[in-house]
Chains A and B, each alone.
Chain A
Amino acid sequence: MSRKIVMPFGPQHPVLPEPIHLDLVLEDEAVVDVIPSIGYIHRGLETLVAKREFTEYVYVAERTCGICSFIHGMTYCQGVEQVMDIEVPPRALYLRTIWSEYSRLHSHLLWLGLFADAMGFENLFMNSWRLRENVLDVLEDTTGGRVIQGSCKIGGVRKDISTEKLGIMAADLDDFESRLSELTEVFLEDDSIKSRLVGVGKLSRSEAYDLGASGPTARGSGVDIDIRKTGYAAYRDLRFTPVTETSGDCYARCAVRARELFGSIDLIRQAIEKIPEGEIDVKVKGNPDGEYFSRAEQPRGELVHYVRGDGSKHLVRSRIRTPTLTNIPPLIKMLRGCELADVPVVVLSIDPCIGCMER
């Protein structure tokens, strides 16, 4: 019988963009157990509700994550709007949807690049991030910010997109989509990538559901949950089907994200086609008094912003539950039984965002 040893993985590791520590219990080269540790970059953002008025806190909410900052800001605003019964103008809801989907494109392309890098495929990494630059350019053109957009506020949005610009964005999507097809074909068809991903880090459907997996991690195991189906923002007016795969391995999670890129392009096209004319914000009067669990589908999965007000200008509580936190228990299950050499790929397959998770 082999001797068990404990090997630390992280918090600093070449494939980890952010710090997470895993104690890997190994028997020869096989991982038999995993103990995760987080907490290296806890910033205490949630306590800032005590220092910032509820209208200002949107800036804090946006800075929870540097990748899907827009969706954090929007989910927070949506929560306060639900508490205060604010009717957001339809045009603002469509603009939020468009920016959310561009954020998803940006996040998935960033992840595909990092994933390629983790597999040692440098050229594919560079190609993914080259395409991502086009998305960042659109976000910068329309909001003024590449990383932190700052375009969402309680009651609507701060910036409009002209009809002319929307037309240019729609036209540019055709070329972008064809270049995306070339890129994703490599991820989904290349033999060396398949040999690295197929059958690695398996998570069954029941395990994914029971352990609380979220987003592409859940959908890669056949769990058909996508919070956009609740119809927030303009999603109730748009047609889409959540992307699912059934094999539950690293390849399935990669395939879900690759296919979701095309789903986002389709949603942006629909939103541009249907966006109504009109106001982009309404005046907010009074202070929030009540509570709401605001939910949205981040690129990594279900995001929850719990907001609780007591009628004063400061919220009593803001709680941000990010998808990475809920994907940690499924990650432990995926890693048990895998080979040590596969650990980096399996960890990255949940698309961990530690800054987001620790707030």
Chain B
Amino acid sequence: MKIEEQRTTFITVENLIGQVEKFRTDGYRLVQVNCTKIGEQFEINYSFEKEYTFENLRIVIEPETEVPSITGMFWGAFVYENEMHDLFGVQVRGMNIDFRGTFIRTSVPYPFKNPVFKGEGPCQEK
């Protein structure tokens, strides 16, 4: 039995700001923003909720694509956008607080950009 229905709408980067604005004016709150590497592309989910109705907007981008910031509509989104930049190397344009890669301090830059699966790393070959 499903706990809750979760609808996902695929959109383009160009439509992102307009679609997020709609959620904002409809009274939704921002739940989270997350990035997933699928093949050579990045998939970014923007999740919203209103009265326990959970909705997602999804964009799929190439590594070099610049994504517009949604901090103009959801001020607190800078934590997710900086995190996305620091872990995956996704370029976000126009953040209200841009930490320029120092929000999550990692020993190597963009550690989630090229995950190494079990059996693929050098340790497994020894």
Residues of chain A whose beta carbon lies under 8 Å from any beta carbon of chain B: 35, 37-40, 42, 44, 46-47, 50-52, 78, 82, 87, 209-212, 225, 229-232, 292-295, 302, 304, 306, 308, 314, 316-317, 319, 321, 325-326, 328-330, 358
Known interface pairs A38-B103, A210-B75, A293-B54; 14 further A-B residue pairs with C-beta atoms within 8 A, sorted by A's residue number? A42-B104, A42-B106, A47-B111, A50-B118, A211-B76, A212-B29, A229-B52, A293-B6, A295-B4, A304-B31, A316-B37, A317-B37, A321-B31, A329-B78
Which residues on the A side are within 8 Å of B105 (C-beta)?
Answer: 39-40, 42
Cβ-based interface call for B72 (8 A): no
Q: Which residues of A contact B34 (CB under 8 A)?
A: 306, 319, 321
A328 to B83, CA, bound (A): 13
Overall SS of chain A's interface: mixed
Name B104's contact: one of A294, A306, A358 (CB within 8 Å): A358
Q: Which of A38, A82, A294, A325: most chain B Cβ within 10 A?
A: A38
B74 interfacial contact with A, CB 8 Å: yes
A209 — which chain B residues lie within 8 A by C-beta?
A: 29
Contact with A along B14-52 (1 / 0, CB 8 A): 000000000000000111101011100000010100001
- Of the candidates A82, A292, A308, A314, the one whose C-beta lies within 8 Å of that of B118 is A314
A326–B30 Cα gap in the complex (Å)? Answer: 9
Known contacts A50-B117, A230-B3: A329-B79 contact under CB 8 Å: yes
Establish whether residues A39 and B104, one from each chain, have CB atoms under 8 Å apart when the complex forms. Answer: yes
CB distance from A163 to the nearest CB of B (A): 26
Contact B36 A316 (CB under 8 A): yes
Evaluate contact between B6 and A304: CB separation under 8 angstroms.
no
Contacts A229-B52, A306-B34, A321-B32 known; A211 to B75 CB distance under 8 Å? yes
Whether A306 contacts B45 in the complex (CB less than 8 A), given A292-B6, A321-B32, comes out as yes
What residues on B are CB-neighbors of A82 within 8 Å? 2-3
- Complex Cα distance, B83 from A329, in Å, reads 14
Q: What residue of chain A has the Cβ atom nearest to residue B45's Cβ?
A: A306
Q: Which residues of B contact A210 (CB under 8 A)?
A: 29, 74-76
- Closest A residue to B99 by beta carbon equals A37
The complex places the Cα of A210 from the Cα of B104 at a distance, in Å, of 24
Taking CB atoms, residues of chain B closer than 8 Å to A39 are 86, 102-106
> In the complex, A161 Cα to B78 Cα: how many Å?
44
What would 16 A/B residue contacts be, using CB atoms closer than 8 Å?
A39-B102, A39-B105, A44-B111, A47-B111, A82-B2, A82-B3, A210-B75, A293-B6, A304-B47, A306-B34, A306-B36, A306-B45, A321-B32, A328-B79, A330-B76, A358-B104
* B104 nearest in chain A by CB position: A39
Q: Which residue of B lies closest to A310 (CB)?
A: B38
Q: Which 8 pairs between the two chains have the least Cβ-Cβ distance?
A: A329-B76, A39-B105, A317-B36, A321-B32, A50-B117, A319-B34, A39-B104, A212-B76
Task: Judge whether A212 and B117 touch: CB under 8 Å.
Answer: no
